[in-house]
Amino acid sequence: DAGVIQSPRHEVTEMGQEVTLRCKPISGHDYLFWYRQTMMRGLELLIYFNNNVPIDDSGMPEDRFSAKMPNASFSTLKIQPSEPRDSAVYFCASSIGGQPQHFGDGTRLSIL
Amino acid sequence: QKEVEQDPGPLSVPEGAIVSLNCTYSNSAFQYFMWYRQYSRKGPELLMYTYSSGNKEDGRFTAQVDKSSKYISLFIRDSQPSDSATYLCASFTGGFKTIFGAGTRLFVKA
């Protein structure tokens, strides 16, 4: 079975540019999560969706970050404008109901 | 105080050793406990999943939860170099917000 698919795997861009990260959850999963991982702060939950509806976005660090889930098989996380401190690995995860989450392999983002 | 505390290590052991990884948690409402394994440049992979207290065994891996002391453990028997990774403990109440520990880096030397 296909797992959570994220793209791109790596992104290098200059400060001020718009960055869009993409995620395809596991088919049939009704929850989707976006995380950011850094050495200093570990895994941080940014936002999660249930049935395509954002439920909790309290982890989104600033208004520069936005996330959408237009349908059950696709979500985006956008940063505009990007800053060097946004450099991190961004993970998408999905789950069914109250079950443990399954993660993608992440997008390694570097903002120069 | 973080809701889930985990020593980041690193922990270095010889091949064949028994490894003990531990976490503590503070939220009495946590009911579900997980261990994830994360290899370099990969996403966390669900390794073990337990509900409430008790032990769960899967091959060389045993997960243990002691709710009275709020202690979560993962034991790895006959450790292999391929077990070298970061291990993250995690808990949630049955809602949907999972709290992760900082992760412990494990090195198994051949």
Residue that the structure tokens 């994830």 belong to: B36
The CA distances from residue A57 to A32, A90, B1, B47, in Å, are 12, 15, 22, 27
Using a 10 angstrom Cβ sphere, with 0-12 exposed, 13-18 middle and 19 or more buried, the burial of residue A40 is exposed
Token pair in block for residue A79: 């940063």
Distance in angstroms (rounded) separating the CA atoms of residues A93 and A105: 9
**Structure confidence by residue, pLDDT tens digits, A28-87:** 999 999 999 998 889 999 999 999 999 999 999 889 999 999 999 999 999 999 999 999
Is the bond into A81 cis (omega within 30 degrees of 0)?
A: yes
All residues of chain A having their beta carbon less than 8 Å from the beta carbon of residue B39 are none
Nearest residue of chain A to residue B91 (CA atoms): A100
d(CA B31, CA B14): 34
Q: Checking DSSP bridges between strand B54-58 and strand B61-66, what pairing results, if any? A: antiparallel
Whether residue B96 and residue A55 make contact (CB cut-off 8 A), yes or no, is yes
Question: In chain A, which residue's Cα lies nearest the Cα of B50?
Answer: A100
Quote the pLDDT of residue B9: 87
Q: Distance from CA of residue A49 to its chain's centroid? A: 11
CA distance B14 to chain A (A): 26
* Residue B103 to residue A42, Cβ atoms within 8 A: yes
Closest chain B CA to residue A101: B46
Cβ separation A50–B41 shorter than 8 A? no
Chain B residues near any Cβ of chain A (below 8 Å): 32, 34, 36, 41-46, 49, 88, 90, 92, 94-98, 100-103
Each residue's pLDDT tens digit in chain B (110 positions)? Answer: 788 999 888 999 999 999 999 999 998 888 899 999 999 999 999 999 888 888 999 999 999 999 999 999 999 999 999 999 999 999 987 667 889 999 999 999 99
Q: How far is A11 from chain B (nearest CA, A)?
A: 14
Q: What are phi and psi of B101, to 5 degrees?
A: -75, 175
Spatial distance between the Cα atoms of A8 and A106, rounded to a whole number of angstroms: 8
Q: What is the pLDDT of residue B51?
A: 85
**Around B40, how many Cα atoms within 13 Å sit in the side-chain half-sphere?**
5
Per-residue pLDDT, B94: 65
Q: What is the pLDDT of residue A49?
A: 95
User: What is the amino acid identity at position B74?
Assistant: L
The verdict on a CB contact (< 8 Å) between A48 and B96 is: yes
pLDDT at B92: 83
Whether residues B96 and A42 touch (CB distance < 8 A) is answered with no
* Nearest-by-Cβ selection for A31 from B49, B96, B102: B96
Q: How far apart are CA B91 and CA A100, in angstroms?
A: 9
